[in-house]
Amino acid sequence: MNRVQAISGFGDKGPACFLVEMEGRRLILDLGEGPDEARRPDVSGVGRVDAILISHGHPDHVGALDLAPQIGDPPVFATAPVRALAGEERLRGAQDLPLGGGTSILGLDVETGPAGHAPGAVWMRIGGAEGLVYTGDYSAESVLFPSSRPLRAAAMIGDASYGDATEPLDQQTAELVERARWRPLLLPAPPAGRALEMALALHEAGIPVALCPTTRGVAETLIRHPHAMTAAYRDGFARWLAATPTFGVDSRAMGVMIVGGAQADRGLSAALTERFATSGEADIVFTGHVAEGSNAQRLLLAEIATLRRWNVHPTRAGLAALLDAVRPAIFLPAFLRRARIPALAEAFPQVQVVAGSGAFSW
């Protein structure tokens, strides 16, 4: 019998960490920190595991890899773009996980495909059609990062971050474009994530775009990993980047300024939000999860900044497409607050939706 235990990432927007026991092997899927108040998974009762498989490189999926010695310091597996962008030694030295295709890890069949959302992000199927699909963070709406539908499996841990929300990305994009035609915008965002997606989409809508040095650095790394981009951008991405200006703390406010640091807590993101909050030269717009206690939350509560989501997780329609592709008998909705799970279960009566403690067997 196979078993899953959500160590973290079930019942709230918590760090990703899922224990999978299959064919005598014990795997951890992601080992993250945050996104709120530097929360970390409690791995004290997990015991030794055989491998850690990483879906993508965002902190809430990899930020607690320093806990690996507590679970036997197993080998870590991640895709090449994730390793190239890594800031943590265990991740930089990880073993290869394909961007798409099959491999064998500890005798288990593991198949992967692109998951959108971030550079090198993948979904993974472990144990074949009778096994498990883990989507990690997933987005089929990304213009820059490729995605594919996962394979069929008996069970699924799926990205349900948005619950049954329905608003599509093209509507969100149109509203940002219209706003940017009237006022300069500062958009703090994860540099290895929606920052570059937004930059390209707004540029193509005719809005002048500038990048912070950190976001530019991610783009330069992405050029060396062209298969981490959709085919539409592989040929022209380097030319676009060369023609796109970089800005700093004293630069003139213009068009749309994409700055790395989604919570505006440090570095250039913090400095520019402070500057524009005081001067009014540009509007500050946050576009993703707002962490508890963050500078982003402070600015929003003071009505100095506004929140306009940019989809990087599945909407209800996207989640329906995932469930239709995988056809699982049992589904654990990851990264969704517990109070919203019953509505999701009602929306998808064709599958058994995990509740309770976040543990299940099949």
Same domain, yes or no: 133 and 202: no
pLDDT recorded at residue 88? 82
> Which residues are paired to 246 by β-bridges?
211
Which of 262, 286, 307 is the endpoint of a domain? 307
Q: How many CB atoms lie within 10 A of CB 146?
A: 20
* Domain CATH number, residue 185: 3.40.50.10890
Same domain, yes or no: 8 and 116: yes
Same domain, yes or no: 120 and 266: no
Is residue 72 within 8 A of residue 48, CB to CB? The reply is yes
At 210-251, the pLDDT tens digits run: 999 999 999 999 999 999 999 999 999 999 999 999 999 999
Sequence-distant (6+) residues with CB within 8 A of 235 are none
Query: To which residue do tokens 């299959």 refer?
Result: 22
Q: How far apart are CA 132 and CA 285, in angstroms?
A: 38
Same domain, yes or no: 152 and 175: no
Q: How far apart are CA 325 and CA 312, in angstroms?
A: 19
* Distances in whole angstroms, Cα of residue 116 to Cα of each of 119, 123, 197, 334: 8, 9, 11, 17
Same domain, yes or no: 90 and 181: no
CB environment 271-297: b (16+ within 10 A), e (fewer): bbbbbbbeeeebbbbbbbbbbeebbbb
How many domains does the chain divide into?
2
Q: How far apart are CA 312 and CA 116, in angstroms?
A: 8
Identity of residue 50: D
* Domain CATH number, residue 108: 3.60.15.10
Ordered DSSP codes for 271-335: HHHHHHHHH-SSEEEE-S---TT-HHHHHHHTTSSEE-----S--HHHHHHHHHHH--SEEEEET
Same domain, yes or no: 213 and 290: yes
Low-confidence ranges of the chain (pLDDT < 50): none
Residue 346, exposed/middle/buried by CB under 10 A (0-12, 13-18, 19+)? Answer: exposed
In the structure, how many helices (H) and strands (E) does the chain have?
12, 19
- Give the residue ranges of DSSP H helices in 236-283: 237-243, 267-279
Q: How far apart are CA 42 and CA 28, in angstroms?
A: 13
Q: How far apart are CA 29 and CA 247, in angstroms?
A: 37
> With a threshold of 0.85, does the pTM exceed it?
yes
At 38-73, the pLDDT tens digits run: 899 999 999 999 999 999 999 999 999 999 999 999
Main-chain phi, psi angles of 239, to 5 degrees: -65, -40
CA angle 288, 63, 61 (to 5 degrees): 60
Same domain, yes or no: 300 and 335: no
User: For residue 197, what are the domain limits?
Assistant: 169-307
Same domain, yes or no: 11 and 160: yes
Q: How many CB atoms lie within 10 A of CB 105?
A: 18
Q: How many CA atoms lie within 13 A of 158 on its CB side?
A: 37
Q: How far apart are CA 348 and CA 186, in angstroms?
A: 38
Radius of gyration of the chain (CA): 20
Same domain, yes or no: 183 and 326: no
Q: How many CB atoms lie within 10 A of CB 142?
A: 26
Sequence-distant (6+) residues with CB within 8 A of 223 are 237, 238, 241
Same domain, yes or no: 316 and 303: no
pLDDT recorded at residue 269? 98
Which of 307, 327, 347 is the endpoint of a domain? 307
pLDDT recorded at residue 304? 97
Same domain, yes or no: 83 and 186: no
Same domain, yes or no: 18 and 158: yes
